[in-house]
Amino acid sequence: MNLGRSRAVDVAETTPMSRESVDRISEAFVASACRRLREGKPLRRRISPWGRVHVDRSLPFLVVHRRPANRDDPGTDRLAVGEASYLIASGERRSQDGLRALVEGIADTLAKSFGAFLIIELWSAPRAEGPAEDVPRRPGFRIVRPKRSPIASTVEVLGQALGEVKIKGEFAGVEVVAQDVVRPPGLLPLVSTERAGEQGWELLGIEVEPVFRDAATGESFPLVRRALHKGLSRALKRAVYEFTRKRTSQRPPHYHALGRHSVVKAVWEVDRKLAEVSNTFDFLLQVTPTNADAAWTRFRRTGFQKAPEFASRPLKVDPPLAKRKLFQIPVERIEDPTLAQLFRDQQAELDRKLTMLGDRGTPRFLYGSLQLYGGVSESLLALADEILERVPSRSRDESPRGAADAEAFAARAREELEYYRRLHPGVRGEVEVRQDFVGLMVSRGNLLIGAGTRIPRSRVEALIAHEIGTHVVTYVNGRTQPLRQLSVGLPGYDELQEGIAVLSEHLVGGFSRPRLRLLAARVLAVRRMVEGADFAEVFHELDRAHDFAQRTAFTITMRVFRGGGLTKDAAYLRGLVGVLAYLREGGALEPLLVGKLGPDHVAIIEELQWRKVLQPTPLRPRYLDDPQALERLAAVRSGVSVLDLVRRRRS
């Protein structure tokens, strides 16, 4: 596609629209476009000589950008792309009559449905005279409104929202000006103020300070543009939400409901390819030792002085080749800023995991783990220390008498899976007792149980709620969603997943004092390992200073040192603290069960639910049907600390 004269171009700028036909804006084209809108059909067409119109569905607004004919303006069109209703087009004078007819046709058609219509034109500020600056300018916006405008509240909301846009730690400046006409410099008005007033259309202009490109060369700053696009998109939706509620017959439930509902083919392609890369390996299984029992025996024979050697499963993936495939995935083609952010985050996380697999058994593994799972903050360490000090090491909460062995627990787990399978046929997971494994793990909907596992009877239902009621349920819920990443696991999902899972133990009445001490010990072990303590030193601190049974201390230490140093185990206590705070602040539990998501993606999931991109979940944890569990959940919402969970367990 010929984009005109030579200029600095962002690669992503040329990627959309490649398979669609190009149309001149003729009377027939305008009539066809309006007919589709009247019939409630989406409108998505490329237009000649450059541009595209995209109207997701009947909406009371249109965001417009015209590329200047007299100056280079790389990247500004990308700020409009991604909205549910937008038009990007050439600003050449010969194209303006057809463009004006199209905008007026869209506005006239949709205003009849809504009673009013908002046209927002977006452009970048021209380069100031004088020498180019060496650093990007401060982010800023100039809102242009007609001198006589009845949408003061919309302008006010837009200004407030734009003022919240933050780039590199600096909030945007916002100026509001009233003019006779609303238009970019050097271009004729898209729609005259008089014409808009006669038809009940409202006009607004937004001039953007182009901090997303070099002032001298026009070279793009992609990360800055993404941050600006995200903030601007949110501000546009908030302004349109205000306009819609005040000026039209519609009452959308949330400003996110004004975002895109339809998802283009490029999204599904990227989602599928990311899932394919993720499914080539099971990260935790690949870094979990296969010789735990033999390693324990050797460690004990050395008098608990010499760190054991752990065996790992052979890698079934070649990390460099997998990375090549990973970075061939065209994430840059995604127009939607929310989905683009999600996919970029996922791509970066898969990259880190593949690097760590290649670094197994080396000091570099720990550095990757700190990037992936984080370390232990001072506040989390203080909480762990408090738990270990205040919760006694001897307790009757978990009696070893009559403990369930691996086969007995597996039988109970199969019963629970069958319960969920009756509710939804998508529950295909199995329960497997394995000799090369210690403890419990859910892998792609399957529950793996180490053959030597023994579980106190008082903890069986708690672990059923943890492993199946949380990990399996969210895996199945994620698989039913159109986005495969929700079953694969979004970045940072371990922390939120483990927080919900540990909370579920409390909700079913099985969160014990020994269990809380174990979570605190994991935090302590991670911190000591990161600080440079070796395997034997961490083991002895848990054994001697905190009175853990030697085999328990060994297992905690092994989990932390596996692969070369894995900080994941601090996520259990950190996740529980985060979930308690989230619920105390009024957060709903249901959005957290849509799939495997991280704390940073809760808002994204809620947005996608408002936009109807995500579907209702088929499963909810069984314990949420238990009146006693709901009473405990209500108590949690009223505000409790982690220590309160074990104090109140028997109340």
Q: Per-residue pLDDT tens for 77-112?
A: 999 999 999 999 999 999 999 999 999 999 999 999
pLDDT computed for residue 18 by the predictor:
38
**Dist CA 21 CA 114 (whole Å):** 30
Residues of the chain with pLDDT under 50: 1-19, 134-135, 648-651
Residue with tokens 């909370």: 503
Contact 93, 66 (CB under 8 A): no
* DSSP letter, residue 538: H
Contact 488, 343 (CB under 8 A): no
Structure token pair of residue 516: 């809380």
What are residue 51's phi and psi, to 5 degrees? 135, -175
pLDDT computed for residue 399 by the predictor:
66
Q: Which of 46, 44, 40 is nearest to 23 (CA)?
A: 46
Burial class (CB in 10 A: 0-12, 13-18, 19+), 102: buried
Q: Which of 555, 544, 538, 575 is nearest to 380 (CA)?
A: 575
Secondary element (H or E) of residue 52 = strand 51-55
Q: 397-427 b/e with 16+ CB inside 10 Å = b?
A: bbeeeebbebebbbebbbebbeebeeeeebb
Q: Which of 607, 637, 570 is nearest to 260 (CA)?
A: 607
**pTM recorded for the entire structure:** 0.86
pLDDT computed for residue 21 by the predictor:
59
Phi-psi region of 175 (alpha: psi -120 to 50; beta: other; left: phi over 0): beta
pLDDT computed for residue 143 by the predictor:
97
pLDDT computed for residue 263 by the predictor:
87
pLDDT computed for residue 405 by the predictor:
94
pLDDT computed for residue 651 by the predictor:
37
Q: How many CB atoms lie within 10 A of CB 73?
A: 23
pLDDT computed for residue 129 by the predictor:
54
- Relative to beta strand 201-208, strand 404-405 is unpaired
Q: Can you list the domains of the chain with their CATH numbers?
A: 18-127+137-262 (3.40.630), 282-316+359-647 (no CATH)
